[in-house]
Structure 1
Amino acid sequence: MLTDIRSHESYLHFVVEQLDIHYNKKFLKDFYFEPIIWCSLIDLTDTTELLKQRYSSNPRGRKPRNPCDMLRSLMLMHYQKETSVDHWVFILKTTPIFAILSGFSPDNVPGVGTFYDFFKRLWLTSTPHLSNRKKRRLKKPRKKGKKNQKLEPKNPKIVEKLVNRALKNKKVHYKQKAHDQLQLLFQSLFVNKSASDGLLGNTQSLSILADGTPVVTGGRSYGKFLCDCRKQGIWKCQCKRQFSDPDADYGWDSSREKYYYGRNLFMIGASDSPYNLPIYPRMYRASKHDSVLFVSTYHELLHWYPDWKFREVILDSALDAYPIYKMLEHYDVSAIIDLNPRRSKQFIYNEMDINLDGVPICPIGRKMLDWGADKKRYRRKWRCPAVVGKWKCPNPCSTSTYGRTFYTSTKDNPRLFPRVKRDSKEWYKRYSLRTGIERCIKRQKIDYHLEDSRGRSSRHWNIRTYIIGMCQHADAWLKEAKKNHFANLNTLIKSLLSL
């Protein structure tokens, strides 16, 4: 039962008192200045209320650790680029400052088992896996793609089916998932604070980014034999095996041009964020295509952020599928998506040829000129190039002195005629922001060593991803505090470091 939970101000008092006992101010300022400031900016007081239902209401038994301190300690562990809980507990016992910053007394540090018990409270299923550990071995696919080209979905029409199914329902239906508790903590304690501080952009007209990246698991693809077939000389049996990571499977890594065994981290971030902050990280099977993942992830996003208004989605060519344009248009969202050369071809619209940039081609093969757009109806007007350029057309298609006009409507074909015209300065300016999601993923995989832990369960990978996402937001708060010369820091920390 959770009792006597201290506030963030009480935590800061505790830190000041303990650091004053164990360290001198000059030593702290020279070596541990940033970690102290970093921890002081993270207010985790609401963690207790958000995790209250995950603890027993029975007053008997041993008193649990403060969930605020446990979560802060996990964040500090990742901030120090530590991937092992066992080694982190050793650091807490041998380096008092990290125990103090976590909120623990140096002589009363939680053990490894306490951290793993806390993991169970962050995960809403009884097991760390989402599927049965005993199953048949997966065969590695033989078909390979080209460099920087992701494999197409096995079912070419799966995206269209998913979109049609989703749009049939007027309301967004959401089934509870194992990672919901992590998302609730992440959203309530970090995303909402960053949004209120203006670090994500305007949440009533938000532009978002999305992309997937491979995450290699520590489990092995061949599993553990449970049968006696090998003793009988049968080397290629189809019997079930036991896997340490049953939720992992094979996926194609287009950048390295090889198959990997693990998961697909599909990340959604804010494009107008100066710090490339994530708002919804999601782990899927590696075999699922990004276009399939975006459909389900976007509807989950609508469930978690019902008060936000999404005005724009910026995606790469892997998600260039007409059903996705159709879905975004249904939700009144502008689609900035690069065309996939494998899916692009000449198109005829109202008896007029249209090139890959959505520009009408007149009968003599010249591009018609853009003459403005009706932003209310998302309709664009085109004029005859000969009349506008004041040159004589060898085969005029209109006797009017104004020349022939032609209209293209986003409603008729949102892929070919997006709201922001392709091959325009505005389109290139907006699409250039797409690299922000790659920098966000780079922070997860490179800066915070996401794959170095070699985890073997869905619980492990989801917790790691969300904790790192929390650290990304805390890092942004620290940079903002530096810009303001630490004007918003507690006076206790100021006096401690003699700022």
Structure 2
Amino acid sequence: MMHVSRSHQDYLAFVSELLRKEYNSPEALLFLQRYYSDLIFWITAIDLSAAASLLRPTYSSKPRGRKPHDPADMLRCLLLMTKLELSVDKGVVAIRTTPVYAILSGFNPGESPGVGTFYDFFHRLWRASTPHKTGRVKRRLKKPRKKGKKNEKQAPKNPKTTEKLVSRILREDKIHYAPKEHDLLQQLFQTLFVLPSAAKGLLGDTNAFRVIGDGSPVETGARSFGKFLCDCRKSGNWKCTCKRKFSDPDADWGWDSYREKYYYGRTLYMFTAADSSYDLPVYPRLFRASQHDAVSWICGYRELRYWYADWKVGEAILDSAHDALPIYTMLEHDDVSAIIDLNLRRSGQLVYNEMKLTTDGVPVCPIGRKMVCWGRDSGRPRIKWRCPAKVGKWECPTPCSTSDYGRTFYTSTTDNPRLFPRIRRDSKEWRKRYALRTSVERCIKRQKVDYKLETSHGRSSRHWNLRVYLIAMCQHADAWLEQAKKQKQLPAIQQWLYESVAA
């Protein structure tokens, strides 16, 4: 049975009182300010009081055994461990031996929970009976032999997958969402971090939200060979096809186009806010490693719209791996402007209505000169292009029109949103907006490099989802601290600490 959680103000009062009691000398306060001030300001700015109401269904309604710890304190403790780059085992020792860590987590020094309590808390955060999504016993996945090219994503097994997915989505009257194992983590992340960041103005205008999506490989700590359950090796058969036992059965093989190698694990697909100066994530998602980024976008985009139904997505900024006509069609259906780079390896020669096009979607006249954009056609959703010779007033060797006005050509987003997006690819505005795509790369870099996502060597879907969401929460808390420093907004605890040291 869960007792009533305390408010954030009660938590701040608890921290102030315990810090005064534990560090009651000027030397101790000076030590606290010098080595722990940023951590104190970072953790006390996070209001986790709503965690109790979100996690209440995971606790028993009957009064049995000892009372559980406050869910807000448990979550705050996990965030502190993530910030300090500590595992659960090392974090429990650090919190029990360092009084300031216990106080900031919301516990009295020496009364912090043990390792088993945190693993019980993990069960509450994961809506599944096991840490894995599939059974641990299965046949071994063979590593692909055919290697891809540098900076070239792994090709989808079925090229028509995106078309089938989008067709099914467009047939639905409303967004269909099947419950996922990580739903509770997303609820905590959205309620406690994303929405407060949006209220602070750190995510841009949510009525015209600009989203960026991209995937990155995440290697698991498990082996791809599995554990043998048969006796085939005793008879000399070392390549049997019998089922094996895997420590991470949800992992599979994927192609890392940057390192030019196959990896065994998952794909971290990150949705970030393009207008965020802190590269903040809004929806992290883990997919199969073998899944193409275009398929991950389609699946994750619909989930994103479900979780943030009150937001209006106005623009999607994606790289050339998402250059598929069904994605443009889906975005146009939702009235979303597509800023997607063309994949020239799949495009071949660009032709529209027997007119050749450049890689930027500009029509080319028969002599190979780019036609001149003459603005939008009045009364119609199309762009007008004119003969370069007539506009530039020079003599064309082989004129294709006898008109004094010259030949005209029209392109429309409705006819082909892939070749002719709402914002022309040859414009400065398009290049300026596409340059924002690097924000998602910096967001993923924060996960994998700054917070060392892959060094944990996890072996279950629960572990990786917990790690990704905890780091995403820390990214928002980091942004809050930076914004407070820029605006010189001193929290109450910070003022008390400075006044105590000065006294």
Q: Give the TM-score normalised by structure 1.
A: 0.97
Q: Secondary structure at the match of 1:141?
A: coil
Displacement of 1:374 in angstroms is 5.5
Displacement of 1:280 in angstroms is 0.3
Q: Which residue of 2 aligns with 1:395?
A: 398
1:471 aligned partner, one-letter code: C
* Superposed counterparts of 1:426-441, under 5 Å: 426-441=429-444
CA contact (8 A) 1:269 1:280 kept: yes
Q: Secondary structure at the match of 1:361?
A: coil
Name the CA distance, whole Å, in 2 between partners of 1:234 and 1:346: 51
Q: Secondary structure at the match of 1:29?
A: helix
Check if 1:145 corresponds to 2:159: no
Q: Which residue of 2 aligns with 1:129?
A: 132
Name the CA distance, whole Å, in 2 between partners of 1:237 and 1:406: 63
* Superposed counterparts of 1:451-462, under 5 Å: 451-462=454-465
For residues 191-238 of structure 1, what are the alpha-carbon distances to aligned partners after superposition, in whole Å with 9 as ceiling and x for unaligned? 000001100000000111100000010111001111111122222111
Name the CA distance, whole Å, in 1 between partners of 2:175 and 2:425: 31
Check if 1:74 corresponds to 2:78: yes
Query: Unaligned stretches of 5+ in structure 2?
Result: none
Name the CA distance, whole Å, in 2 between partners of 1:8 and 1:303: 29
CA contact (8 A) 2:362 2:426 kept: no
Name the CA distance, whole Å, in 2 between partners of 1:376 and 1:355: 26
Task: Select which of 23, 34, 39 maps to 2:43.
Answer: 39
Task: Select which of 260, 264, 271 maps to 1:261.
Answer: 264
2:433 aligned partner, one-letter code: R
Name the CA distance, whole Å, in 2 between partners of 1:369 and 1:362: 10
Q: Secondary structure at the match of 2:255?
A: strand
* Superposed counterparts of 1:222-301, under 5 Å: 222-301=225-304
For residues 232-252 of structure 1, what are the alpha-carbon distances to aligned partners after superposition, in whole Å with 9 as ceiling and x for unaligned? 222211111110000001111
Name the CA distance, whole Å, in 1 between partners of 2:19 and 2:380: 63
* Superposed counterparts of 1:3-402, under 5 Å: 3-23=3-23, 24-82=28-86, 84-373=87-376, 378-402=381-405
Name the CA distance, whole Å, in 2 between partners of 1:4 and 1:354: 66
Deviates most, 149-158 or 451-460: 149-158
Name the CA distance, whole Å, in 1 between partners of 2:252 and 2:11: 43
CA contact (8 A) 2:154 2:254 kept: no
Deviates most, 185-194 or 384-393: 384-393
Deviates most, 444-453 or 2-11: 2-11
Identity %: 64
Displacement of 1:375 in angstroms is 9.8
> Number of matched residues?
496
Q: Give the TM-score normalised by structure 2.
A: 0.96
CA contact (8 A) 1:345 1:356 kept: no
Task: Select which of 448, 451, 456 maps to 1:448.
Answer: 451
Change (3 A) 1:376 1:80: farther
1:382 aligned partner, one-letter code: W
Deviates most, 464-473 or 19-28: 19-28
Displacement of 1:438 in angstroms is 0.3
Deviates most, 364-373 or 291-300: 364-373
For residues 126-185 of structure 1, what are the alpha-carbon distances to aligned partners after superposition, in whole Å with 9 as ceiling and x for unaligned? 100000000011100001011111121011111111111111112110000000000000
CA contact (8 A) 1:47 1:67 kept: yes
Change (3 A) 1:235 1:345: closer
Q: Secondary structure at the match of 2:266?
A: strand
1:5 aligned partner, one-letter code: S
CA contact (8 A) 1:25 1:497 kept: no
Displacement of 1:379 in angstroms is 1.7
Name the CA distance, whole Å, in 2 between partners of 1:243 and 1:171: 38
For residues 353-404 of structure 1, what are the alpha-carbon distances to aligned partners after superposition, in whole Å with 9 as ceiling and x for unaligned? 2222211122222211011136985421111111110112233333333222
Query: Unaligned stretches of 5+ in structure 1?
Result: none
1:199 aligned partner, one-letter code: L
Name the CA distance, whole Å, in 2 between partners of 1:324 and 1:405: 30
Name the CA distance, whole Å, in 1 between partners of 2:360 and 2:270: 28
Check if 1:480 corresponds to 2:496: no
